[in-house]
Amino acid sequence: MTSLTEFFSRQEDDNLKGISHKNNLFKRNIIAHMAVNGECTLSELTKELHISVPTITKLVQELVQENIVSDLGKVETPGGRRPNVFGLASSAIYFAGVNIGRDNMSFLITDLHNNIVKEELLTDFELQDRPQCLEKICSNIAHFIDTCGVERAKILGVGVSVSGRVNPTTGRSYRYFTSSEQSLRDMIEQRIGIRVLLENDTRARCYAEYTNSKSKDEMDVLYLHLGRGLAIGIVMNGKLYYGKSGFAGEFGHIPFFDNEIICSCGKKGCLETEVSGIAIEQKFGRLISQGVNTILREKYNKHEAIHVDEIIDAAKHDDNLSIELIEEVGEKAGKAVAFLINTFNPETVIVGGELAEAGDYLMLPLKSATNKYSLNLVYKDTKFRLSKMGKTASAWGAAMLIRNQVLGLC
């Protein structure tokens, strides 16, 4: 085998013949099987992959010599000859994950087992739809790759997540850097010299949530992201649901209210106009200006911007206005979630994003409204929980998704 990058980037071509090509495909299947199922014996690989014992033995030994697979020694058995157990070497292959946020960038490196081995958060950043910003994004990613402590040749892919409509197949963002004929994925890939996957940030976070905290048999999950905007990630039958062009999950833009509030999408009455961090901030400002009392009035009087995280903190300090606004959003969100669970009948609804930091102030009215407006059987069939992931969840999910793509798991 040549380099790891060439080995995993080599496209399967029906015109290619020969034992060498066939063995390379077998090796990729062995690695993919271990990535999904963990440690295994040669006989288990033979049975699952339908490859002869001599061939499996030869190929696994080659992977051991290439430091991709580790021989973990003998396994205990009830009797007879004890077989050797093999598993992926964590230090053989790595992947990077990057999330491009509104006012920050998060970076991390994962090993073959999806363990985070390095992570960083860059706060000196502002996302703007300008060529200078794209150059800064690329240089920040390149700098992290060069300084992360992992040999560049071992990093086989970079998953990049960003907000807005994204088509992972074409690598295009339909919100940022759209003026070029090249896709955003291709521009970043050309700049950093490593294979890139572009993904929507909510969907990436949904995958991280699902992969890291699912129960054994959980297959259908909805992830509700309540940040400055509103979106959902959908897992159906254990796989992310994308729709035809990768735009599935724009739940914040369903026509839900009969109001005259213009949404960021240009339409009126979207769910996001009253159920989002931006909606809370705007209503909070209007009510203060009308004389409603709050512990944040001094900040308002200084003409300082009041952000949703400060409103959540005020609620935790018993500020009535903050509590009322968060509970109002929770109730409206719950009515919308009732529509979702009646439609999808998921096993679990996970609530994440900045507003999830409000805890019970959000979740109690959300669940109460969902119970009120959904079918009783469906509601009883659905579990609810808050996100357990940190701020790097989208980057982590992006790293997992590029891993799946490189290893042929999707």
Same domain assignment for residues 242 and 285: yes
Instruction: Return the CATH number at 111.
Output: 3.30.420.40
Same domain assignment for residues 273 and 357: yes
Q: What is the pLDDT of residue 407?
A: 87
Same domain assignment for residues 99 and 165: yes
Same domain assignment for residues 107 and 149: yes
Same domain assignment for residues 331 and 235: yes
The tally of CA atoms less than 13 A away on the side-chain side of residue 352 is 26
Q: What is the pLDDT of residue 1?
A: 46
For residue 8, is pLDDT > 80? no
Burial class of residue 204, CB neighbours in 10 A (0-12, 13-18, 19+): buried
For residue 14, is pLDDT > 70? no
For residue 11, is pLDDT > 80? no
Q: Which of 56, 88, 120 is the last residue of a domain?
A: 88
Give alpha helix (H) positions in 53-94. 53-65
Number of compact structural domains in the chain: 3
Q: Which amino acid is at 250?
A: E
Q: pTM of the full predicted structure?
A: 0.88
Instruction: Return the CATH number at 18.
Output: 1.10.10.10
Q: Say how far apart CA 258 and CA 105 lie, in whole Å.
A: 36
Q: What is the CA radius of gyration of the chain?
A: 24
**H-helix or E-strand spanning residue 116:** strand 116-122
Same domain assignment for residues 375 and 290: yes
Burial class of residue 237, CB neighbours in 10 A (0-12, 13-18, 19+): exposed
Same domain assignment for residues 243 and 344: yes
Q: What is the pLDDT of residue 79?
A: 60
Q: Which of 88, 109, 131 is the last residue of a domain?
A: 88
Q: pLDDT tens digit string along 64-105?
A: 998 889 998 887 666 667 889 999 887 888 999 999 999 999
Q: pLDDT tens digit string along 96-136?
A: 999 999 999 999 999 988 899 999 999 999 999 999 999 99
Mark 244-266 as b/e (b = at least 16 C-beta within 10 Å): eebebbbbbbeebbeeeeebbee
Q: What is the pLDDT of residue 379?
A: 97
Q: What is the pLDDT of residue 25?
A: 85
- The rounded percent of the chain whose pLDDT value lies above 70 is 94
Same domain assignment for residues 180 and 226: no
Q: What is the mean pLDDT of residues 10-14?
A: 50
> What's 81's DSSP letter?
P
Same domain assignment for residues 131 and 224: no
Same domain assignment for residues 381 and 243: yes
For 195, the domain range is 94-206+393-407
Q: What is the pLDDT of residue 216?
A: 62
> 218 pLDDT band (50/70/90 cuts)?
confident
Q: What is the pLDDT of residue 37?
A: 84
Torsion of CA 235, 239, 245, 247, to 10 degrees: 20
For residue 215, is pLDDT > 70? no
Q: Say how far apart CA 27 and CA 23 lie, in whole Å.
A: 6
For residue 340, is pLDDT > 50? yes
Q: Tokens 């407006």 belong to which residue?
A: 373
The pairing of beta strand 383-386 with beta strand 348-352: parallel
Same domain assignment for residues 68 and 102: no
Average pLDDT, the chain: 91
Q: Which of 57, 88, 119 is the last residue of a domain?
A: 88
Q: pLDDT tens digit string along 196-208?
A: 999 999 999 999 9
Same domain assignment for residues 296 and 314: yes
**H-helix or E-strand spanning residue 202:** helix 201-213
